[in-house]
Amino acid sequence: MDKYTVKKYSETDFKTWNSFIVQAKNATFLFHRDFMEYHKDRFEDYSLMVFEGEKLVAVLPANVSGETLYSHQGLTYGGLVYNEKLKLASVVTIFQKVLFFLNENNIQRIQLKLIPSIYHQKPAEELNYALFLLNAKLIRRDSLAVIDLSIPYSLSKIRRRGVKAGMSNGLVIKEVGGFAGFWNEVLIPNLAQKHQAKPVHSLEEITKLKTLFPEQIRQFNVYENDIIVGGTTIFESTTVAHSQYISGKENKNELGGLDLLFYHLITEVFKNKRFFDFGISNEDQGRKLNDGLSYWKESFGASSIVHDFYEVETANYGLLETILI
């Protein structure tokens, strides 16, 4: 364990951190400091960097609240990020060192929301194994509706009818550079009416993120006679096109707009991606499932990938002492 050292991220590490993220085997653009820091006023950053000598070998995007460290709560997923050269035994040892560091700094527990496997450039579930060894507690499990675009999939009859309706109604799909129409006319009103909620990102925030990540954040809208009736915001990573927001005008569902939009994205725009991720249909920390929403996504040929959240006591680092034989 002594071969590794852990330190907190500081602003002077900006370039080093980002250079590492680019070549990690389980990272996406969400871990770039520009993305993490667009809402830095909401969280007390406590991201960690792990070194072997002078070489950075792993990072942990995180924030702290009280005696708990969190996989950064401003990100969809997180956990330990590392490159393909790091072996299983090394990951176990590194995470032991992270827990020891946190325990020494009076942080009693860590909550991790793991990176779903579809976002890995190469298999990267070493941390999952380490958490098993640590008797980590599974505290939440979401289900992602995902299409594996590398193998055959099919739309249900009801989705095919929706696609045909969208075509016959003359709907038009456009990729647009701005978000105001979708946010103000569709997304915000829908979330307020159905869930008494607001988008995670404000219009100003998503616009800023688009300027920072123009190729990864994309907006697709569907129109009837030049009037927006629905849309989706896509976060595109190396292996996945993820639908971050999906919304359509309630009184326009019969037009087939969202069916046509997603058919177009899956079969044309992102047909060469490995996965298309519709996101979750869960509520109440994963313990409730929106059956209608889940069915709609599955009707495109999607099936489930789980997204796990764990909690582990930092004092448990000693459980890893005798693992390696």
What confidence score (pLDDT) does residue 252 get?
86
Q: Which two tokens stand for residue 141?
A: 């499990």
**Domain for residue 303, yes or no?**
no
Residues 230 and 110 in one domain: no
Q: Whole domain around residue 73: which residue ranges?
A: 4-141+308-320
Residue 315 in contact with residue 159, Cβ under 8 Å? no
Residues 27 and 107 in one domain: yes
Residues ≥6 apart with Cβ < 8 Å to 3: 52, 53, 93
Residues 155 and 106 in one domain: no
Residue 24 in contact with residue 83, Cβ under 8 Å? yes
What confidence score (pLDDT) does residue 2 get?
80
**Domain for residue 283, yes or no?**
no
Helices 257-264, 157-168: axis angle to 10 degrees equals 100
Let me know the angle formed at the C-alpha of 274 by 126 and 236, rounded to the nearest 5 degrees.
90
Residues 57 and 115 in one domain: yes
**Domain for residue 292, yes or no?**
no
Residues 266 and 157 in one domain: yes
Residues 164 and 45 in one domain: no
**Domain for residue 280, yes or no?**
no
What confidence score (pLDDT) does residue 1 get?
58
Residues with pLDDT less than 70, the chain: 1
Residue 25 in contact with residue 82, Cβ under 8 Å? yes
Residues 188 and 218 in one domain: yes
Q: Is the pTM of this model over 0.85?
A: yes
E strand segments, the chain: 4-8, 48-52, 55-60, 62-65, 68-71, 81-82, 109-113, 137-148, 172-176, 217-224, 227-236, 240-248, 275-280, 282-283, 288-289, 303-313
Residues 13 and 137 in one domain: yes
Residues 136 and 8 in one domain: yes
Residues 89 and 184 in one domain: no
CA distance 97 to 108: 14
User: Tokens 């793991």 correspond to what residue?
Assistant: 114
**Domain for residue 238, yes or no?**
yes
CA distance 313 to 325: 24
Residues 130 and 206 in one domain: no
CATH number of the structural domain spanning residue 158? 3.40.630.30
Residue 222 in contact with residue 171, Cβ under 8 Å? yes
Residues 97 and 48 in one domain: yes
**Domain for residue 286, yes or no?**
no
Helix, coil or strand: residue 80:
coil
Assign residue 284 a region: left if phi > 0, alpha if psi is -120 to 50, beta otherwise? left
Domain count, the chain: 2
